[in-house]
Amino acid sequence: MWARRFHPGPLLAKVKKSTGITGLRVEPQAREKLLGLYQRTLLAAESIPEEAFYKQAVLKITNARLKVCQEEEDWEKIEERIGCGQVEELIKQAEDELKLIPKMIEWKPWEVPEGHKIRIRDEGYERSKHLPTHRSSWDAVELEILDRREREKKEKEAREKEAEEKEGQIDASGSSK
């Protein structure tokens, strides 16, 4: 009866007994661990160029999750607000991201190698059955490039035909018009 007078703080918070996921143990200090991991992730991402989409995505996700962890004390509320699994799964995700960042810095996927050529699909390109049939922004770019190439080809053919006709007129009359 005395417990009703007190606001349930960290000592009276619910205790998770199991994650229900084989091999994934309950983390009693999940919030604190997440706060540390997210702060380390932000520090690690500093060496990635600002214009890299990877950095932008990592910062956006990490800052959003860090804000939730700073605002909430209860692990259930953290799970609910982030909506990407249990806090233990969030910890695993953050640890994996921290392992990936040094590899991304090494690989530099945001840099285009010198001499890199973009592969353009031909009109007769057959899309695999398992791929979605919607058109992406890259499809629009490819179509624009193909249209431009087709126009250039027709213009070149028209110029060549015009040049041949002029030559034919010159030869037939013996003088130019």
| Nearest residue to 100 (alpha-carbon basis) of 44, 50, 150 | 44
Enter the pTM of the model. 0.61
Q: Note the pLDDT of residue 1.
A: 43
In the predicted model, is pLDDT for residue 120 greater than 80? Answer: no
% of the chain surpassing 70 pLDDT: 75
150 falls in which pLDDT band (50, 70, 90)? confident
Q: Give pLDDT tens digits for 80-115.
A: 999 999 999 999 999 999 999 999 999 999 888 788
Beta carbons within 10 angstroms of residue 97's beta carbon: 19
In the predicted model, is pLDDT for residue 4 greater than 50? Answer: no
With DSSP H G I counted as helix, E B as strand and the rest as coil, what are the percentages for the chain, rounded to 5? 60, 0, 40
Rounded to an integer, what distance in angstroms lies between the CA atom of residue 70 and that of residue 113? 41
Q: Note the pLDDT of residue 6.
A: 47
CB 45 within 8 A of CB 59: yes
Q: Which range is least confidently modeled, 20-24, 62-66, 82-86, 110-114?
A: 110-114
